[in-house]
Amino acid sequence: MAQKANLVIDQGSTFSTEITVATDGGSLLDLTGYTGAAQMRRHYSSTNSVSFAITLGGTDGTVQLSLTSNQTMSLAAARYVYDVELTDGAGNISRILEGYITVSPNVTRA
């Protein structure tokens, strides 16, 4: 079962967050050989999505999600849904995190 976490993204800013993944026994999950995917959408049924860049930390169990400032600038200030999935070497997919994202509007513009 996926953990739940709500995030806030500042529109027009570079966004990055790190997740630490552990086994049921509490040890860090070795992510060697895994791939990751994460998307946010306005609604669960939306066809449009924004994909996060994902960096897996290997043996330290970390997953970093990031968006560029250009990506966040193109987001409407609103609430979104998101999730993060990992796929192991055998093709098994696990949803590790899900929740809501609030995009906070940008005031300063170049």
Q: Please tell me the class of the 3-94 domain.
A: mainly beta
pLDDT at 110 over 80: no
Instruction: Give the domain ranges of the chain.
Output: 3-94
Task: Give the distance from CA 12 to its chain's centroid.
Answer: 17
pLDDT at 108 over 90: no
Give the Cα separation of 19 and 48 in Å (integer): 25
pLDDT at 2 over 90: no
In this prediction the pTM is 0.92
Residues 72-83 as b or e (16 or more Cβ within 10 Å = b): beebeeeebbbb
